[in-house]
Amino acid sequence: MKKVLKWVGIVLVVIFGIGILVGKDESKPVEDTSVSSAPSSSSNSNSKKTISLTAKEAEFINFVIEDDADVAFSGGDALIKPDVIFVTAKELQKNYAANEARGDKTYKDKDMVITGVVSSIDSSIGDIPVVTLKTNDMFNTVHVRFKKQYRDIAIDLDKNKKITFFCKGDGVIIGSPTVSSCMPVDVAKKDFTNKQKQYVNNSLEGDKSIPDEIKGIILLTKIVGEETNDFAKCEKFGKKCLESTVQKMKASGKDPKSYLESSPAAQELKEVLGEKK
């Protein structure tokens, strides 16, 4: 029951505290509509309780997940937070210089989004490019090593250019912090959104073990769909659509808890995606 209350609570926060989820007003094209609008036929054949989505609901979930990921990978207060450290090259070097052991505990083998200004673009053994980023230490820079398929990125970089990449902490080499397996942030963000969309697809099959935040997004989608006649009353997805829906819900005179208790969609989802037994 506590698990159910947790993800229902997520919806209450989102619906009645707009801004956490969708911060953009403009419509955003969905590149990959990977959320299915119906469970697989195999799930239906074994009489397992499943969830179906309309095409618009699937599109809305894609929009919400991608919009939330934009916020998350910009270091904002997203609903679904990736396990990523946001750090500048100067901060990374400063923290390592203060205490290398603590630096390793904080950063080594951890995913991070690192931002800095290019100091040099060099080639190491085997002509593998190494980019260094400026720090406040005249002797030690931050060394950036790219994942193999992204090494050509270094060719297009210039000194004094500000860059941001998704990397993994790799300790210190002769006083210089090193990050490796670097790739464009958009690539990491895409991997992250695909993972969240797969959770949604799993939930359509009745998987109760998916994250509470994903359950909350599905419930949010169903409720907004109820209030907008499957989004027909929304010119486009975005903050205005949600705000308009919330105002109508508040005008009904029902408190959030009562509203969810009377929502057919909420009751159906709680039954299918409630606490795993």
% of the chain with per-residue pLDDT over 90:
46
* Residue 71 near residue 78 (C-beta atoms within 8 A): yes
Q: In 3-state terms, what secondary structure has residue 24?
A: coil
Stretch 72-99: mean pLDDT: 95
pLDDT at 42 over 80: no
CA dihedral 261, 265, 270, 272 (to 10 degrees): 160
Nearest to 64 by CA among 211, 224, 188: 224
Nearest to 20 by CA among 84, 81, 87: 81
DSSP letters spanning 104-122: HHHHBT-EEEEEEEEEEEE
Stretch 198-205: mean pLDDT: 92
Question: What is the per-residue pLDDT for 37?
Answer: 66
Dig out the tokens for 242 from the structure: 């949600």
Q: In the predicted model, what is the mean pLDDT of the chain? A: 82
% of the chain with per-residue pLDDT over 70:
80
pLDDT at 15 over 60: no
For residue 144, give the DSSP letter. E
- Indicate the CATH number for domain 85-185: 2.40.50.140
Q: pTM of the full predicted structure? A: 0.81
Q: How far is CA 245 from the centre of its chain?
A: 24
* Longest CA–CA separation in the chain, Å: 70
pLDDT at 243 over 90: no
Give the tens place of pLDDT for each residue, 120-177: 999 887 789 999 999 999 889 999 999 999 999 999 999 999 999 999 999 999 899 9
pLDDT at 232 over 70: yes
Stretch 33-60: mean pLDDT: 72
Stretch 251-262: mean pLDDT: 69
Domain map of the chain by residue range?
A: 52-78+211-276, 85-185
Top-confidence residue, 199 or 46? 199
Question: What is the per-residue pLDDT for 79?
Answer: 86
* Residue 231 near residue 224 (C-beta atoms within 8 A): yes
Question: What is the per-residue pLDDT for 2?
Answer: 42
